[in-house]
């Protein structure tokens, strides 16, 4: 009951003019940041923190909440319109969002993305507001061995189930594991695959990889299509009133749960949540072939999950002081700047500000929907640009965004190399999503595996201890055997049909 009293008191502080203005400004800036390739919520909040020194704590935190929520939705705009994930969490949105735009359904895709993002953010904020202390205990149950199996499950599920050819999916995943090993070994400090280059010591930035694989290939395709006088994107159909929104309700329900759980588990993040939700939606749908070709359910699943991760990732950060993501770490820094010490004492000593911050996460999810609806008509006009202008614009934005990361021309050239690699992979029908996921999960799996073995004095038995590990091992086995079972069923049906004909 005490927490509900604090929530009630915090409402009166949140709905004041200064805090509301900061939330509106933060949400608008966040959408703009997310829509610009190469920029992210982490960068936007990091830039904002020095500007909030003179602000009241809740005013500053309200603006941060707006940037966080807005950027997560904003990343879907270039993902749908240009096939460029504005943020890492926008990877899965590309799979069905861009094909919808090519089919003349960009406006519908943006509306689905906006609605799904708002619902996911609202569910995540409610989870943070009402369930923070008990849900934090779930994350405490995960040992390093559990994290290893969780990473392995994510890799196998995406690599095997995402591609029509599991071998190509595994090749893509192995390529990602190789890329993820570049840089300094976090356990020993040794250099790996850096080739004596200072630019590679810190590893390959995920934004560089994403922009290269997902922005440059479509830009090259657009350039070639303009040379052939081919219109790259279909005429947009402004009428989407006949779309049945009710069929997305089960998608939102499942994806919200996946996003919240992914947010609670440190180091998982919205990009993995979106990929898992998209993959789960595809797996559970009888018509699996429509995914990756413009399925509205695919856009809804990805966007709902990656936004359901936002506030949920703050649960271990606020209650335990353990940031589950880069954004959470930056937000913890903002709390410390304003004299708020993360941990259980935060809920006792600064209850009104803490619960007020949680409420701003909920309010900005609604503001995001309002601002997104007003801006959707402006976003759609980008599709009216001719391909001869759109292609160089995409490449220019990509180059500027990547250079702005660390003022490095090396990363710009690296992005262009990944662009060529992405184009080759597309031509060979090798999926790029397993590569990206492997870059994210590979280091996590390696570090968790080695830490588990070190903690057990070199005994591998630790990997098979506990119910959580065995559940994840069972899921990995089921996923790996899925293609084999499918082939056996096809052969069985074929032989049965042949026998029936005879």
User: How many domains is the chain built from?
Assistant: 2
pTM of the model: 0.66
Closest CA to 106 of 232, 283, 226: 232
420 and 440 share a domain? Answer: yes
484 and 368 within one domain: no
- 26, pLDDT greater than 60: yes
pLDDT at residue 235 above 90? no
Residue 179 in this model has a pLDDT that exceeds 70: yes
Residues 186 and 233 grouped into a single domain: yes
Same domain, residue pair 401 and 494:
no
| Phi/psi at 193 (5° precision) | 55, 30
Shared-domain flag, residues 188 and 264: yes
Contacts of 126 (CB under 8 A, 6+ apart): 362
Dist CA 363 CA 474 (whole Å): 40
Q: Both 360 and 370 in a single domain?
A: yes
Task: Provide the β-strand partners of residue 460.
Answer: none
The reply to whether 304 and 405 lie within a common domain is: yes
Give the residue with greater pLDDT, 229 vs 345.
345
* Same structural domain, 130 and 197: yes
Query: Is the domain of 445 the same as that of 476?
Result: no
Same domain membership, residue 478 and residue 340 = no
Give me the phi and psi of 54, to 5 degrees please.
-90, 0
Q: Above pLDDT 90, what percent of the chain? A: 5
Find how far residue 436's CA is from the centre of its chain.
Answer: 11
Asked if residue 420 and residue 488 are part of one domain, the reply reads no
* Other C-beta atoms lying within 10 Å of the C-beta of residue 389: 11
DSSP letter at 383 equals G
Considering the domain architecture, whether residues 119 and 138 belong to the same structural domain is answered as: yes
The tokens for 226 are 């303009």
pLDDT tens-place string over residues 437-472: 778 778 878 888 888 888 888 788 888 887 878 888
State the pLDDT confidence band at 24, using cuts at 50, 70 and 90. Answer: very high
Question: Domain limits at 56?
Answer: 2-465
* Spatial CA neighbour of 63 closest among 77, 51, 74: 51
């Amino acid at each position: 009951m005490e927490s509900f009293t604090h929530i009630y008191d915090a409402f009166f502080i949140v709905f004041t003019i200064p805090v509301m203005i900061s939330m509106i400004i933060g949400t608008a800036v966040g959408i703009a940041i997310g829509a610009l390739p190469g920029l992210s919520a982490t960068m936007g909040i990091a830039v904002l923190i020095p500007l909030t020194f003179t602000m009241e704590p809740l005013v500053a935190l309200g603006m941060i909440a707006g940037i966080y929520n807005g950027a997560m939705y904003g990343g879907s705009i270039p993902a749908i319109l240009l096939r460029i994930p504005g943020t890492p969490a926008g990877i899965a949105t590309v799979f069905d969002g861009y094909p919808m735009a090519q089919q003349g359904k960009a406006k519908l895709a943006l509306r689905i993305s906006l609605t799904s993002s708002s619902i996911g953010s609202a569910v995540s904020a409610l989870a943070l507001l009402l369930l923070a202390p008990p849900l934090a205990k779930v994350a405490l149950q995960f040992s390093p061995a559990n994290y290893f199996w969780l990473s392995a499950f994510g890799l196998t599920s995406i690599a095997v189930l995402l591609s029509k050819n599991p071998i190509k999916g595994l090749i893509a995943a192995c390529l990602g594991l190789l890329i993820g090993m570049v840089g300094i070994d976090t356990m020993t400090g040794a250099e790996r695959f850096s080739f004596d280059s200072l630019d590679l010591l810190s590893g390959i930035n995920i934004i560089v990889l994403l922009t290269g694989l997902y922005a440059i290939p479509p830009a090259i395709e657009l350039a070639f299509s303009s040379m052939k006088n081919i219109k790259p994107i279909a005429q947009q159909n402004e009428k989407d009133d006949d779309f049945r929104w009710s069929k997305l309700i089960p998608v939102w329900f499942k994806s919200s749960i996946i996003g919240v759980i992914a947010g609670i588990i440190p180091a998982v993040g919205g990009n993995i949540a979106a990929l898992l939700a998209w993959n789960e939606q595809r797996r559970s749908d009888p018509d699996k072939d429509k995914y990756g070709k413009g399925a509205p359910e695919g856009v809804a699943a990805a966007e709902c999950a990656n936004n359901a991760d936002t506030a949920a990732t703050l649960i271990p950060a606020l209650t335990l002081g353990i940031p589950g993501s880069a954004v959470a770490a930056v937000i913890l820094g903002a709390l410390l700047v304003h004299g708020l010490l993360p941990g259980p004492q935060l809920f006792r000593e600064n209850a009104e500000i803490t619960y007020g911050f949680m409420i701003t996460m909920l309010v900005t999810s609604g503001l995001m929907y309002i601002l997104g609806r007003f801006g959707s008509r402006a976003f759609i006009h980008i599709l009216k640009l001719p391909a001869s202008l759109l292609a160089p614009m995409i490449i220019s934005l990509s180059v500027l965004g990547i250079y702005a990361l660390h003022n490095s021309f090396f990363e710009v050239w690296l992005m262009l190399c990944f662009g060529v690699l992405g184009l080759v992979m597309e031509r060979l029908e090798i999926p790029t999503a397993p590569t990206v996921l492997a870059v994210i999960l590979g280091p996590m799996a390696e570090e968790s595996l080695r830490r588990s073995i070190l903690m057990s004095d070199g005994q591998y038995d630790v990997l098979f201890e506990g119910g959580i590990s065995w559940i994840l091992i069972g899921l990995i086995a089921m996923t790996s055997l899925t293609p084999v079972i499918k082939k056996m069923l096809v052969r069985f049906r074929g032989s049965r049909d042949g026998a029936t004909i005879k």
